[in-house]
Amino acid sequence: MAHTLYQKLVDSHTVKRLDEAHVLLYADLHIMNEYTSPQAFGGLVERGLLVLRPSQQMGVVDHVIPTHADPVAQRVIRIEAASKQAANFSRNCNASGIKLYDVNDPLQGIEHVVAPESGFIRPGMVVLCGDSHTTTYGAFGALGFGIGTSEIEHVLATQTLTYRTAADMRIRIDGVLPTSVTAKDLVMYVVAKISAQGARGHAVEYAGTAIEALSIEARMTLCNMTVEAGARAALIAPDETTFAYVRAHPGNLDAAGMEAAIQTWRHLYSDPDAVFDIELEFSALDVAPYVTWGTSPDQAIPIDGWIPLRDADASTAKALDYIGLTGGSRIEGTRVDRVFIGSCTNGRIEDLRLAAAVVRGQTISPTVRGMVVPGSGAVRDQAEREGLASIFTDAGFEWRQPGCSMCLAMNDDVLAPGERCASTTNRNFEGRQGRDSRTHLMSPAMAAAAAIAGYITDVRKLGAQP
C-alpha cells in the first residue's frame, strides 16, 4: 500500500494505535523553553515521577531573555518574573540531567535555530516542543509540531504522546523564484493564497522544483510559517541538500554512522502513487516580495498591491482600524518607526546575509530604529567573522545578542503603543510586539529596504540583489 511521507513518519513512531483517529506516538526529541515547561515539571513533582529519558530532551532559554549588547557571560534578566522563569527552568533541567542552553551559554539562542545547528535534528525524527513553530523541522523530513503544557508533562514522563493523526495535503511549487524574492515571500504568498485556516487539520508536504532549489535554511523558513495556515505539520522530503547540512552538523554521529543513516533517510519520501487528501499547485514565477497589511499572516499582499477596502468584510475593517491604514490605498510608502531583523523564522546566517546585501554601503533613515538579532550565538559569531555585523552597525543598526527578542512582547524588546514595525517575524497579531503596536511582516531583504527608506518599499527598487 502506498504511503505519504507523513504517514511513514507516523507509522514508524507509533507505539500503539488507540483508536481510528489516535495513536500513541514516540518522540525522538523533546525541546523545551522557559515559558511553556514550568507547570509540566511541577506536575511531575506532584505525581512523584521522574523524566524518563533526559538524553532525549533539550532546553533553551529564549523567549524572555534580553538581547542587549552586553557580553553573554554578563547577561542578566532584569524583569523579575522572567528571571524567575529562567531560574526555575535551569533548576528543573539541571535536576533532571537535561542539556540546557542557559542565559549565559555562548551557544544560546532561539530553540528552533540552536537545535538544528547543534546536530539535534535529523531526517525521520519526531520532534516535539511547547512552541507552535516546531513545524520548522519539517525542512529536514522530520515530523515536528507544537504541544501544550499537559502534553509536555506526559512526554517528560513517558517519551510518548497521545496524538490525533492529520490529513495529508501536498503543495507543489515549480519554477524559479524571481530576483529578490525569498522563501519568506514564498510562504507569505502561500498563506495568503490558502488563508489562515487553509491547511487546518493537515500535514503539508511541499514538493516541486522551486522547493528542491531552496537551501535548508530557506526550507526552515517555509516550514516554520506554514503553521500560520493552520497546518499541523510541514514536511519536505530529505535530499542531497538535507544530507549536506546534517553532515556539517553531525551531533553525536561519527562519519560511518552518518553515512549509514543517510542510506536509510533516502527512503523518506511519499510513494509515487500515494494519495493526498488535498493537492495544490503554484508557480514560483507568480511570487513577488510580500508584506502584511493587517493583523493576521494571511492578510498579505505583494509590495505593489492594494490594501483591501474596509467594506470587504468585518475582519478587514477591524484589522484596518487596528493597523491604522486606509483601504484601497497602496501599502508601499507606509512609514515605519522600527525595523526588526531576527526570530526563528529569519534569524539564521542566510537571512542576515540577505539583509546585509541590501544594507551594504547604505545608512538607515534617521526616523527609524533598526535592530538585528541573530538567532544564536553561533550565528552571531559567524556573522561577525563574515563582516556582516560591521555592515549593520555602520548603517546604523543595533547589533544585539541572540534571543526571541521583538518577535513577541515577553522580554524588554517591545514596541511602544502606536509604533509601526517592519518585522521579519511570523505573526502580526494585535499586541504581538507590544500593546497597541503595529506589525508588518516581510522578508529580511524587504525589512532592510524599509530601514533605509524609512517606509515600506520594494527592495527591487534599491538595485541590490540579495
Res. 438 pLDDT band, cuts 50 70 90: very high
Please give the CATH number for the structural domain made up of 167-238+261-286.
3.40.1060.10
Q: Are strands 160-164 and 22-26 parallel, antiparallel or unpaired?
A: antiparallel
Cα–Cα distance between 91 and 109 in angstroms, integer?
19
Cα–Cα distance between 414 and 436 in angstroms, integer?
11
Q: Provide the 8-state DSSP code for 307.
A: P
If we measure between CA atoms, which residue out of 158, 122, 72, 167 comes closest to residue 402?
Answer: 72
- Following CA atoms 456, 191, 197, 218 in sequence, which dihedral angle do they give, to the nearest 10 degrees? -110
Q: Does the pLDDT value for residue 375 go beyond 90?
A: yes
- pLDDT, one tens digit per residue, over 238-257 is 999 999 999 999 999 999 99
Cα–Cα distance between 445 and 465 in angstroms, integer?
9
State the pLDDT at residue 250: 97
> Where do we find the cell 554601503?
361
Mean pLDDT for the chain overall: 97
Residue 381: CB atoms within 10 A of its CB come to 15
Amino acid at the residue 19: D
pTM of the full predicted structure? 0.97
Residue 106: CB atoms within 10 A of its CB come to 15
Please give the CATH number for the structural domain made up of 290-462.
3.30.499.10
Q: Does the pLDDT value for residue 316 go beyond 70?
A: yes
**Contact indicator for 78, 66 with CB cutoff of 8 Å:** yes
pLDDT (average), residues 436-446: 98
Q: Does the pLDDT value for residue 464 go beyond 90?
A: no
State the pLDDT at residue 466: 60
At residue 95, the 3 state secondary structure works out as helix
Q: Hey, where are the domains in the chain?
A: 5-164, 167-238+261-286, 290-462
Cα–Cα distance between 37 and 7 in angstroms, integer?
29
Amino acid at the residue 84: K
Cα–Cα distance between 181 and 309 in angstroms, integer?
26
**Contact indicator for 64, 77 with CB cutoff of 8 Å:** yes
Res. 36 pLDDT band, cuts 50 70 90: confident
Q: What's the gap between Cα 98 and its chain centre?
A: 23
301: left (phi over 0), alpha (psi -120 to 50) or beta: beta
At residue 38, the 3 state secondary structure works out as helix
At residue 31, the 3 state secondary structure works out as strand
**Contact indicator for 297, 196 with CB cutoff of 8 Å:** yes
State the pLDDT at residue 35: 87
List of residues 6+ apart from 180 with CB closer than 8 A: 289, 445, 459, 460, 464, 465, 466
State the pLDDT at residue 300: 98
Concatenating the DSSP letter of every residue in 437-464 gives -EEEE--HHHHHHHHHHSB---GGGG--
- Name the helix (H) or strand (E) containing 37: none
State the pLDDT at residue 279: 98
Cα–Cα distance between 417 and 433 in angstroms, integer?
10
Cα–Cα distance between 300 and 305 in angstroms, integer?
9
Q: Does the pLDDT value for residue 3 go beyond 80?
A: yes
- Following CA atoms 161, 165, 168, 174 in sequence, which dihedral angle do they give, to the nearest 10 degrees? -10
Do 5-164 and 290-462 fold alike per CATH? Answer: yes
Res. 465 pLDDT band, cuts 50 70 90: low
Enter the C-alpha cell of residue 114.
540552536
Angle, vertex CA 77, rays to CA 73 and CA 83, nearest 5 = 125
Cα–Cα distance between 426 and 422 in angstroms, integer?
12
Please give the CATH number for the structural domain made up of 5-164.
3.30.499.10
